[in-house]
Amino acid sequence: MGLVDDLVQAVDAGRLRDLTLALVRIPSPTGDCARVADSYAQALRSFGLDVVVEAHDGHPRSPSVVARLQGAQRGPTLQFDGHLDTIHAAHAPPRFDGACIHGRGAADMKSGLAAIAEVARVLAQADTGLAGDVLITAHGMHEAPWALGETVRQLIDAGHVGDAVICAEGSHDELPVAGKGLGIFELTVRREGDAVHELAAPADLPHPILVGNRLVCALEAENIRFAETVLPYDLGSESTFIGVFEAGDFYNRVPTECHIVGTRRYAPDRAFSKVEAEFRGLVERVAGETGATIDARFWRQRDGFELDPETPVAVALRRAYAQVHGRPLPLAGMKYVADSSVFIREAGVPALQYGTGLARAHADHEWVDLLDIVDTAKVLLLTAIEYLGVAA
């Protein structure tokens, strides 16, 4: 189809390079993305989109960009979503080396935002409109541990949700159709009184390190039980992981506290409330057995999700990928967590993760290949055309 070929040809590598680099040059650590939001809004406005920069209660430096490209005909709305913030980690100055863009946020996910903007530009400047709208949302408060997805949830609550969503972050050569949920726990074992000499401690004094050890053993026993159930799409099993165990300050003193922090990854279809109840039950059991006080904090990072690969937006993206790459797009499990699960579980709409590649996300040296950004923009553009259809 000539029209579609012309649109794909209009995807401009130079523009994608320049916009990615411009966004990467504006630092936007989580909690502070106002400047990059303004810059992104300005780019979308220059293509003729209706753009607002929306403030959020409680997050004054993390506004969102909400932009709409009206179709030539009424129809469904396809939403492209991305996050504007990056992790708080220093990086060498941004640069383009002739093939790749280097800098904090290049892969995660300013190149994805640039790809979305390029799709919008091509569609806005095309002679033929689509049979439905394109909605673009870009928000901060994404990256943990600094945020939990607070502003994307405010956008959903405010009604900025399409009939289907593509979060332009993640792999560019597979489509996640199932993902695990992630909870993070923080346990503090406490006992009354000060640190005391081991010889001065009463026999029944709870020892925080030993109580901590009981917790670790109980959590490890859960892992053995979890391993009996293998999840689909290579997701492995549910798991508990301990990343921090801290206690004690001297070889012959009984400490007053032990601190344990870790992750709990759970099956795609499970509710966080059930997982939390199960976890708190385990902690209460150890507290009862040892007489120690254990403070447990447990919070949801993102839920797991399942996606029907035959849902129209997934079919559209798979067709688009096959047109650009000449081979089918493999379906896969997603081990990390991302915003598509928020749309699927909390907004009730189908949502895909498809970006410019995440291999270098969060790395000390972060970069993205310009060719991958170009290909992703083409896939996203064709997906919009496939999903919405061309106006009659």
Tell me which residues touch Zn ion (CB under 5 A).
108-109, 169
**Least distance CB 169 / Zn ion (angstroms):** 5
Q: Which of 255, 357 has the CB closer to Zn ion?
A: 357
Q: Which of 94, 212 has the CB closer to Zn ion?
A: 94
Question: What are the angstrom distances between the C-alpha of 381 and each of 151, 165, 182, 194, 284?
Answer: 26, 13, 31, 64, 52
- The amino acid present at 345, given as its one-letter code, is R
Cα–Cα dist 28/34, whole Å:
8
Place of tokens 């999700």: 305
CA dihedral 188, 149, 329, 239 (to 10 degrees): 10
**Least distance CB 296 / Zn ion (angstroms):** 28
**137 touches 116 (CB < 8 A):** no
Cα–Cα dist 66/53, whole Å:
6
Q: Which of 79, 356 has the CB closer to Zn ion?
A: 356
- The amino acid present at 45, given as its one-letter code, is R
Name the residue whose CB lies closest to Zn ion. 108
Q: Assign residue 142 a region: left if phi > 0, alpha if psi is -120 to 50, beta otherwise? A: alpha
All residues at 6 or more sequence positions from 238 whose CB lies less than 8 Å from its CB, including other chains: 180, 226, 229, 231, 264, 265, 266, 267
Q: Which of 4, 144 has the CB closer to Zn ion?
A: 144
**Nearest by Cα to 301 from 262, 269, 333, 332:** 262
Q: Which of 107, 287 has the CB closer to Zn ion?
A: 107
Q: What are phi and psi of 198, to 5 degrees?
A: -55, -35
Question: What are the angstrom distances between the C-alpha of 349 and each of 116, 163, 281?
Answer: 19, 6, 33
Cα–Cα dist 94/367, whole Å:
9
**117 touches 203 (CB < 8 A):** no
Cα–Cα dist 172/317, whole Å:
11
Per-residue burial over 195-225, b if 16 or more Cβ lie within 10 Å, else e, is: eeeeeebeeebbbbbebbbbbbeebeebeee
Q: What is the secondary structure of 41-93 as a DSSP string?
A: HHHHHHTT-EEEEE--TT-TT--EEEEEE--SS---EEEEEEE--B-S---PP
Cα–Cα dist 350/25, whole Å:
33
Q: Which of 212, 357 has the CB closer to Zn ion?
A: 357
Q: Which of 26, 247 has the CB closer to Zn ion?
A: 26
